[in-house]
């Protein structure tokens, strides 16, 4: 299948274009007199990080073990661990780092203590980031937020953000969108970036496009994907165009929809089973003789169904008790779970 090589609606990009999206905003700058403590002392130490390729600051993310799982709803939380020699980035040019450390040991100690109080979170699936505590006040203005997010993307392989992120986070993500070390996709509703060597880009992009509202019924070929991206103001890195949209995206969007449908059907079927149990059974001492007679009739009805467990008969059992259940639910894999549930109920009450 021919792969998409260009878009008629907007330029093919090497850096993500945030123009017109929630990330397109003017940056508020500190007045120099209001600079936080360490910014006053050292300036914006990491100002070149967004445009510098291949720099590893040695950050570690210590806490819960992370595993790639697109359907995970787990919230991960980590302590951001800075290397012991991180202070070297603050040493003035031309000075010996070890001698400077000895002469400024109180400053180094305070700096490292502040750094080691930073925590960050990510929500499984599309790895949406959360930075609730943010950067300690004394460390703001140095560019640390950028290298923390950058390091997290490297660690996870991919990460995303949405428009309800804080203004500080949005500023950082607008820079990440232009980082030469990453590729990604940006729209009015989210930004998603990948480490370039991440192996599961197609799977993650499929889930992202599903979140952004792509309709499989309207997608027949690559031109339809192009139209969707253009109409929804979605920009995508040039490198990602090497992924075959129709083979990778459509398959993974379909899988995401299938999982969501199965989850909803399971929830509805289990709810219906609980309602049926409540309708049929309970504490016998709470019922009059006439009510117990009705319960016994319902048990007999279920027993009759158990002789020939066809989906249509189970639908009738529910309907006869005033409960509407869709045939598609009965035909799903939850059907067998309901059968086993009814068998267990008969053992309990018969």
Mean pLDDT for the chain overall: 75
pLDDT tens sequence across 164-209: 888 888 888 888 888 888 998 888 888 999 999 998 888 888 888 8
Candidate from 254-268, 298-312, 331-345 with smallest mean pLDDT? 331-345
Domain boundaries, given as residue ranges, for the chain: 32-243, 256-349
The four Cα atoms 15, 18, 23, 26 give a dihedral, to 10 degrees, of 100
Mean pLDDT of 57-61: 94
Half-sphere exposure (Cβ direction) of 28: Cα atoms closer than 13 Å: 6
Judge contact between 4 and 205, C-beta under 8 A. Answer: no
CA distance 117 to 305: 62
Dump pLDDT digits (tens) for 256-298. 666 666 767 777 766 666 666 566 555 545 556 666 566 667 6
Q: Residue written as tokens 């009738």?
A: 316
| Interval 122-162: pLDDT, tens | 998 899 999 888 899 999 999 999 999 999 999 999 999 98
pTM above 0.75, yes or no: no
222-244 residue pLDDT tens: 677 777 877 888 888 877 766 65
Length of the chain, please?
Answer: 350
Q: Pairing state of beta strands 191-195 and 60-63?
A: unpaired
Token pair listed for 74: 């787990």
Q: What percent of the chain has pLDDT over 90?
A: 26
Say what the pLDDT of residue 238 is. Answer: 74
Question: Exposed, middle or buried: residue 311 (CB in 10 Å: 0-12, 13-18, 19+)?
Answer: middle
Per the CB < 8 A criterion, the answer to whether 342 and 302 are in contact is yes
Of 163, 135, 122, 140, which Cα lies nearest the Cα of 18?
A: 163
| Adjacency order of strands within the sheet including 182-186 | 60-63, 75-81, 119-123, 128-130, 158-161, 191-195, 182-186, 235-236
Pair of tokens at residue 9? 């609606």
Q: What CA dihedral angle connects 309, 278, 267 and 73, to 10 degrees?
A: -140
Residues 255, 17: contact at Cβ < 8 Å? no
């Amino acid at each position: 299948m021919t792969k998409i090589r260009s878009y008629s609606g907007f330029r093919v990009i090497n850096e993500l274009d945030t123009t017109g999206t929630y990330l397109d905003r003017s940056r508020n700058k500190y007045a120099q007199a209001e600079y936080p403590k360490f910014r006053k002392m050292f300036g914006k130490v990491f100002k070149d990080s967004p445009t510098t390729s291949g720099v590893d600051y040695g950050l570690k993310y210590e806490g819960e073990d992370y595993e790639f799982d697109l359907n995970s709803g787990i919230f991960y939380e980590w302590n951001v661990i800075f290397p012991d020699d991180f202070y070297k980035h603050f040493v003035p040019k031309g000075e010996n780092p070890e001698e400077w450390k000895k002469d400024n040991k109180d400053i180094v100690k305070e700096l490292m203590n502040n750094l080691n109080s930073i925590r960050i979170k990510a929500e499984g699936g599309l790895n949406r980031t959360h930075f609730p505590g943010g950067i300690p006040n004394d460390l703001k203005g140095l560019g640390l937020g950028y290298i923390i997010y950058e390091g997290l993307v490297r660690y996870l392989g991919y990460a995303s953000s949405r428009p309800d992120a804080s203004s500080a986070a949005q500023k950082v993500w607008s820079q990440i969108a232009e980082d030469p070390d990453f590729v990604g996709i940006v729209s009015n509703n989210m930004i998603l970036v990948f480490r370039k060597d991440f192996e599961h880009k197609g799977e993650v992009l499929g889930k992202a496009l599903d979140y952004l509202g792509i309709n499989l019924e309207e997608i027949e070929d690559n031109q339809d994907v192009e139209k969707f991206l253009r109409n929804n103001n979605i920009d995508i890195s040039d490198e990602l165009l090497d992924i075959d949209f129709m083979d990778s995206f459509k398959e993974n969007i379909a899988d995401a929809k299938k999982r969501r449908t199965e989850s909803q059907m399971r929830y509805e079927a289990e709810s219906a089973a609980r309602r049926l149990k409540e309708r049929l059974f309970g504490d016998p001492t709470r019922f009059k003789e006439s009510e117990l007679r009705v319960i016994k009739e319902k048990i007999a009805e279920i027993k009759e169904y158990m002789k020939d467990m066809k989906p249509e008969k189970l639908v009738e059992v529910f309907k006869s008790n005033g409960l509407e259940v869709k045939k598609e639910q009965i035909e799903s894999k939850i059907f067998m779970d309901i059968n086993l549930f009814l068998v267990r109920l008969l053992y309990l009450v018969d």
